[in-house]
Structure 1
Amino acid sequence: MFLTGFAALAVMPLLPVAARDLDGVGLYPLVAGAFVAASLLGGVLGGAWADRVGARLPLMVGVVLTVATLLISATSGSIWQLASGRFTDGIAAGLVAVSVNAAIGQSYPDHIRAKALALMSTCWIVPSLIGPPLAGLVAAWSSWRTVFFGLAVLTVIPAAAAVLLLRGRPMRADAVSAGPPPRPPLLVAGAVSVAAALTQFGVSEWDVAHLLCTGAGLAALVVLAPRLLPPGTWRAARGLPATALLRALTSGAYFTLEAFVPLMLTTARRVPEVVVGLAFTGAALAWAGASWLQGRLQERVPRHLMVRVGAGVMAVAVVLAGLCTLPSVPAAAAVASMVLAAVGMGWAAPSLTLLSLAHSPADRQGAASSAMQTSQNLGQTVVLAVASGLFSAVGAVADGRLPAFAGAFVLLLLPAVAAGALAARTRVVVGAAPGPDFVRGSRRGWSRSSPRP
């Protein structure tokens, strides 16, 4: 996880440079959005795979595929090859993320899972501190291709460890479904990934063609995405459906804030780039610290209350970011809003993951992890698209960019407040049999199981 985080954080600052060198700046939104879009497909594939044979095989494939995708990107001769590399890397990332969560659920008892997830968050601290600046130095000394090749060499280490240490390991008896192996809706997942990429491309500019792309992508997501989620997700049915919805709401609010605050600091408030970099570093440290704290408090604070507190902290962060659109408010407050939002996510995200595992039996924890990964990516895509559309619309009629940022931040209050209000629906009932009201079925994706006793 440490080297995976290092690769992810080091690559992002180099994508604009690579797009410029490949004469593909106009397609940069597609390159940037391909990763998130493809991770939808990787998450669905990894979840079903983990339920069928255990988490070790999809984890092995995911880390090996990561090495291959870095090599594809490093040898890019066109912007389309770079986009293909990022899309494939998204599939690999989806496999790894879902497999890690499923492995924690299948291998650790409940009282250790929170600490394991906190450790996963801690693994991102050092990469957040040294990954981007080190990659920038290497790119300045040589080229962005050298960074991709170097990351491929580094990622060989966890790939080799996964293959050598996990190969042939016996699986837990309760880690594999006793029934017929589920068949994930891969065609639907692929279509949703394409729709997400189309939406990301559409919000890059404000004209008729891009507006049509955005509308088509969002329409496809509305029609097809529910097939990848537990029934009742959109109405926040108690249990796993509400947990999946809250992952979408909190992720959409946080990552959209993370996208708009640096843009505001750079373009409207004219803050030096080093300050923006410190904001990302502070956010990473805050997320890891809050995640560690929720792991320590899990025996004393119910997890659904941690989600409510985390959502409330994120709402305060959004308000703080909105106040920074006033010229009289110091720009440093916007940096603090990113750090504060990361504290909220550090509380909410691991708690939601643990709740999803608690709502799932052992042979469906891969499907639950897949649903959470899918909802996270959908939340990022939809909230960012809507906020970007509002930003472009307000910016087209307003004087200056600050009113456009204000409109986007007001919009972000909705998912944050909704997550806090619905947190009680994720509560695990004491004494109830472990297992959700919904399991993954055959071609139709999710189907309703018999009621819990």
Structure 2
Amino acid sequence: MNVCDDNQSGVKDTSTSTAVSWRELLSREHAGAAIVPAVGVLVGAVNIYLAASLLPTAVADLGGAGFYAGNMTIHLVAMVIATMLVSRFLARWGNVGAYLLGFGVFLAGSLVCAVSPVMAVLLAGRGVQGLGAGLLSGLDFAAVRSALPQRLWTRGNALMSAMYGVGNFVGPALGGLFAQFGGWRLAFVAMAVIAAVCGVLVPRALPRGGHGATRAPVPVVSLLLVTAATVAVSVAGVLSGAVAMAAGLAVALLLMALFVAHERRDARRVFPRSTYRPGSPLKWLYLTLALLAFGVAVESFLPLFGQRLGGLAPVVAGFFGAAISLGWSATQLVSSAAVEERTIGRLRVLGPLLLALGFLVLGLMQRQDAPVWLVLGWVPVLFVAGAGIGLAYPHLSVAVMSSTRDPEEGARAAAAIATVTSLAIAFGTAVAGALVNLGGASMLDAARYVLFGFAIVCAVGAVTARAAARTGSR
């Protein structure tokens, strides 16, 4: 039996035959179930970019510059671990209880960061924040699946994911503002207050439910393997020397291969059992989502290219990186209206191709001491690249959610979207760092290696999208 046996319409049944309006999604009946996941994404996205903007100021205040690189590693590892446990929290506490836990953990981590006397404590707080943010991230997809009718899943996912783009703008702006006035601690207090307000609203806004699923045992071995892989790839991203980075990436890939081998034969797994069945489209859907998320990692290096090649001021260059997320967010608000099966299938394939084309064109536009008009031309190209993610991502995520009618397996499938996304961004960041180092002293070479390399990798997403379509149609 393959995944289509659990869902008679299979992966193809990802939407209704008529368009669903935003008005219905935001109606009194469904608004709470749509807005809470969206706010959860927004809190996590703002926090990532807020912390990145504040960290230099915090280092100047607390010392511990040697811990600087560990900030993202700790946060990311914690996020990945939490996303892998989402279905267990849902089975135990339901939608409301799990969200209260997520916001509560995030609040606690923010307060630890705010009162940190030394950098080591700040990093511990960032780890706790990561646990809360990861739980919220995984819950967002699972809550959309369990709390909204299927006809609203695409719109719900689009609204939720659009918050990434909002966070990419709000985060650097708030972080820069607090850092400018030396109030980096107040920034974390503000995040704690936001989490507290969200926690108060959760019982009123989110429908109760999510209980009743079998409480599956914790997949300890899978957790350890993925955690080790995430640490390896994160460390690889900060190593000096292309050989050392390549070795770190090779270790991470080996650990992921061991993870897949373990999941295929062990009942304690993270991904739905149908992922590993012959003929299942789920593995191709997850791979396509991963390749799209892989491309998001370029955002971390675009400010560097803007400053070194385009002569942009740091604050301006910082917002260049958000152009991809802006294109992603804006486009999926429109693409989520697609309901025809053939159109949706084309969008899933077109998305990775458009993302790859954007990186290819941007790579061709790189120049040392580039003129202003050329640098400004990066923005629409980056927007188009992000639009590729927006075209495909909501429909791919809904296809994953629609892959089974079993509530427990469905919650696990939905929550795994966040795990795949976090892992892909971690791998993408490490690969981009390796390619930058490969450029050596030439920032122009580094930029071209990153952009051309990512164009090749992301283009593979069109192949995996086609494989998912072919497999799902059987």
Deviations 1:251-289 (A, max 9, x none): 11x222212222211223322224324424544432221
Q: Give the distance between the partners of 1:301 and 1:67, measured in 2 at CA.
A: 44
* Aligned residue identity for 2:423: L
Query: For the structure 1 residues 215 and 85, does the alpha-carbon distance in structure 2 shift closer, same or farther, using more than 3 Å as the test?
Result: farther
Deviation for aligned residue 1:367: 0.9
**Is 2:59 the counterpart of 1:39?**
no
* 1:370 corresponds to which of 392, 415, 418: 415
Deviations 1:342-387 (A, max 9, x none): 2111222222211110113232122112322222222222232233
- The CA distance in 2 between the partners of 1:378 and 1:127, in whole Å, is 20
Give the unaligned 5+ runs of structure 1. 433-453
Q: RMSD of aligned C-alpha atoms?
A: 3.1
Q: Is the 8 A contact 2:350 2:388 kept in 1?
A: yes
Counterpart contact for 2:96–2:208, Cα < 8 Å:
no
- Seen in structure 2, the aligned counterparts of structure 1 residues 237 and 13 have a Cα distance that, compared at 3 Å, is farther
- Whether 1:264 and 2:310 are equivalent positions in the alignment is no
Q: Deviations over 1:398-444 (max 9, x none)?
A: x6221122122222123211101221233398899xxxxxxxxxxxx
More displaced, 255-264 or 44-53? 44-53
Q: Is the 8 A contact 2:76 2:422 kept in 1?
A: yes
- Residue 401 of structure 2 corresponds to 357
The answer as to whether partners of 2:436 and 2:449 remain within 8 angstroms in 1 is: yes
- Match of 2:330, as an amino acid? G
Once the two structures are superposed, the pairs formed by residues 14-413 of structure 1 within 5 Å of their partners are: 14-51=54-91, 54-124=94-164, 126-163=166-203, 170-171=208-209, 176-177=212-213, 180-207=214-241, 216-224=251-259, 227=263, 228-229=270-271, 238-252=280-294, 254-299=295-340, 302-327=343-368, 330-361=374-405, 362-395=407-440, 400-413=442-455
Contact 1:18 1:144 in 2 (8 A): yes
How far did 1:292 drift? 0.7
Are the aligned partners of 1:236 and 1:422 in contact in 2 as well (CA < 8 Å)? no
Q: Deviations over 1:149-172 (max 9, x none)?
A: 122112211012225655xx6526
- Name the amino acid aligned to 1:250: L
Question: In 2, are the aligned partners of 1:45 and 1:186 still within 8 Å (CA)?
Answer: no
Q: Following the alignment from structure 1 to structure 2, what is the Cα–Cα distance between the partners of residues 22 and 416? A: 40
Please identify, of 341-350 and 421-430, the stretch whose mean Cα deviation from structure 2 is larger.
421-430
Does the 8 A contact of 1:325 with 1:406 survive in 2? Answer: yes
Change (3 A) 1:273 1:165: same
Letter in 1 for 2:336: G
Amino acid at match of 1:171: G
Q: Which shows bigger deviation, 292-301 or 89-98?
A: 292-301
Contact 1:69 1:88 in 2 (8 A): yes
> What SS class does the counterpart of residue 84 from structure 2 fall into?
helix
Map Cα deviations across residues 216-270 of structure 1 (whole Å, 9 max, x no partner): 4454344236634467979996421111111111111x22221222221122332
Range moving further from structure 2, 142-151 or 60-69: 142-151
The alpha-carbon distance between structure 1 residues 110 and 43, as it changes in their structure 2 partners (threshold 3 A), is same
Could you say if the C-alpha distance between residues 41 and 185 of structure 1 is closer, same or farther in structure 2, counting changes exceeding 3 Å?
A: same
SS at match of 1:309: helix
Q: Unaligned regions of 5+ residues in structure 2, if any?
A: 1-37, 264-269
Residues 303 and 355, structure 1, Cα contact 8 Å, conserved in 2 = no
Partner Cα separation in structure 2 for residue 308 and residue 355 of structure 1: 14
| Identity value in percent | 22
Structure 1 residues 420-429 or 368-377, which shifts more?
420-429
Cα distance in 2 between the residues matched to 1:424 and 1:386: 25
Once the two structures are superposed, residues 282-334 of structure 1 have per-residue CA deviations (whole angstroms, 9 ceiling, x without a partner) of 44432221111122123465433222111111011110221133346822333
For 2:303 and 2:119, locate their aligned partners in 1 and report how far apart those are by CA, in whole Å.
25
**Taking structure 1 as reference, are residues 429 and 220 closer, same or farther at Cα in structure 2, changes over 3 Å only?**
closer
Q: Quick one: structure 1 residues 281 and 58, their matched pair in 2 at CA, closer, same or farther if it must change by over 3 Å?
A: same
Where 2:336 maps in the other structure, the secondary structure is: helix
In the alignment, does 2:468 pair up with 1:421? Answer: no
User: CA contact under 8 A between 2:400 and 2:414: conserved in structure 1?
Assistant: yes
Structure 1 pair 305–59 and aligned structure 2 pair: CA distance change class (3 A): farther
Q: Distance in 2 between matches of 1:145 and 1:163?
A: 29
Is the contact between residue 256 and residue 384 of structure 1 (CA under 8 Å) also seen in structure 2? yes
Could you state the TM-score of these two structures normalised by the residue count of structure 1? 0.83
Displacement of 1:123: 3.9
Tell me how far 1:341 sits from its aligned partner.
2.0
Sort the Cα spacing of 1:60 and 1:299 in 2 relative to 1 into closer, same or farther, 3 A.
farther
Partner SS for 1:77: coil
Contact 2:348 2:465 in 1 (8 A): yes
| Partner Cα separation in structure 1 for residue 433 and residue 183 of structure 2 | 32
- SS of 1:55's equivalent in the other structure is helix
SS, match of residue 182 in structure 1: coil
**Contact kept in structure 2, 1:39 and 1:377, CA below 8 Å:** yes
1:56 aligned partner, one-letter code: V
* CA distance 1:341–1:429, shift in 2 (3 Å): same
Count the aligned residue pairs: 422
Structure 1 stretch displaced more, 421-430 or 406-415: 421-430
How many Å separate the matches in 1 of 2:235 and 2:473? 47
Letter in 2 for 1:419: G
Counterpart mapping for 1:427-438 below 5 A: 427=469
Shifted more, 236-245 versus 366-375: the winner is 236-245
Q: Take 1:196 and 1:60, find their aligned partners in 2: how far apart are those partners?
A: 27
